[in-house]
Amino acid sequence: MIPRFQPPLGGREIIAALTPSFSDDVRLFEDAFAKVMEQGHAIAFPYGRSGLLALLKCLGLSNRSVICPAYTCVVVPNAVVVSGNRPVFVDSGRDANMDLDHVRGFVDETTGAILATSIFGNPVDLDMLDDLRAKHPHVPVIQDCAHSFITEWNSRPVHREGAAAIFGLNVSKTMTAIFGGMVTTDDAELASALREHRARTTTAPTLLKTMSRLAYAFAVAPAFWPPLFGLTDRLRRAGLLDRFTRYYDEELIELPDDHLVGMTGLEGRVGVEQTGRLSAMIEARRMYDGYYRSRLADVSGLEWLEEPHGSSVSHVVARVADRQRVRARAAAMGVELGEVIEYSVPDLAAYRSLLSDDRSFPVSAVLSTTVINLPTSLRFDERKAAKVVGVLRRVLDGAKPPPALPVT
């Protein structure tokens, strides 16, 4: 069975994980990451959401509103709430990014920051963001780049356009350190504050954490090997892998128990190896994207999201009308299709009880029920891509188009 993604772990990463080191591996990873991102500073954290939590604290934000997308990974607003601030959600545009036209109406004296997410690797519109920053220079912009490693808007790297950027580094991301996160910035004072905050609040990783990360790395690579992935998928559907795959509870607003336990040296060594392969892995995803779009362009049951030039394509994303049926039929034919983000955050139980208004988010709601992602891997494999195309053509033969995205 072809999995929807392949963890970006190869032989070099496994060797790096197994090789003892007497260096400061996390610092070396920070240096390598800052270099590849062409930024002055990179500060490593246990998770991307841990980095966001620290960043909000170091920006001095407390009991402020933080503007963020309604259609985003729930761990982002969770970190906002845990930091003592409150998310203000904004609906999506046609590229699935937060509609920046709507943001203008929510910036007021309580606004502490704007979280700009380049979802699926699609760059946020930096021209519109420039306008917002000019009108509200006191409101810092944080670039959420969990999906957007080296994404560009008109040749401008998105991650450099704000006070700081946050990155997630788990195995489903474009590059990985097994787990972990990173904050990058060109602001030396902010970087110093982040390092001091990390030193004060984060405990040193234990040997148990190092060994669990190593075991996870050894387990995850074969689990996504196509000849074995059918078994992995059956275990997942039976709920036997929830401990490893379920990253949120829609009834709770929380962070992982170990979100303040530092990144291990093992993760740092894997991260160093990954930074050297990042551009090649992004190029492979772009090749998959171009292949699928060109060969499935005439399939009426599939609608492609708008994708601005410069996308790093964390996911190859399209929309379908009956997602569960499409996914089930494709799986029966040997292809896993992902759901990516299967919710609109304000509609989750924990946030319905938290929010004080009854605003709706119609575009986010439609995206959350219709978006699928098509399989990619570390290197472009035309035979694999051709099989995916053939399966989707059979599955979507005669299928009705997905519902139109609302005009808001």
Is a pLDDT exceeding 50 seen at residue 355? yes
What is the 3-state composition of the chain as percent helix, strand, coil, each rounded to the nearest 5?
45, 15, 40
**Full-model pTM:** 0.93
Using CA atoms, how far apart are residues 159 and 149, in angstroms rounded to an integer? Answer: 8
Band the pLDDT of 391: cuts 50, 70, 90.
Answer: very high
Percent share of the chain, pLDDT over 70: 94
Band the pLDDT of 224: cuts 50, 70, 90.
Answer: confident
> What mean pLDDT comes out for the span 27-49?
97
Q: Number of C-alpha atoms within 13 angstroms, CB side, residue 376?
A: 27
Is a pLDDT exceeding 50 seen at residue 377? yes
Pairing verdict, β 65-69 and 86-90: parallel
Is a pLDDT exceeding 50 seen at residue 240? no
Of 310, 272, 305, the closest CA to residue 374 belongs to: 305
User: Domains in the chain and their CATH numbers?
Assistant: 12-201 (3.40.640.10), 278-395 (3.90.1150.10)
pLDDT in tens, 270-327: 999 999 999 999 999 999 999 999 999 999 999 998 877 899 999 999 999 999 999 9
Percent share of the chain, pLDDT over 90: 79
Using CA atoms, how far apart are residues 384 and 352, in angstroms rounded to an integer? Answer: 41
Please say whether the beta carbons of 133 and 159 come within 8 A: no
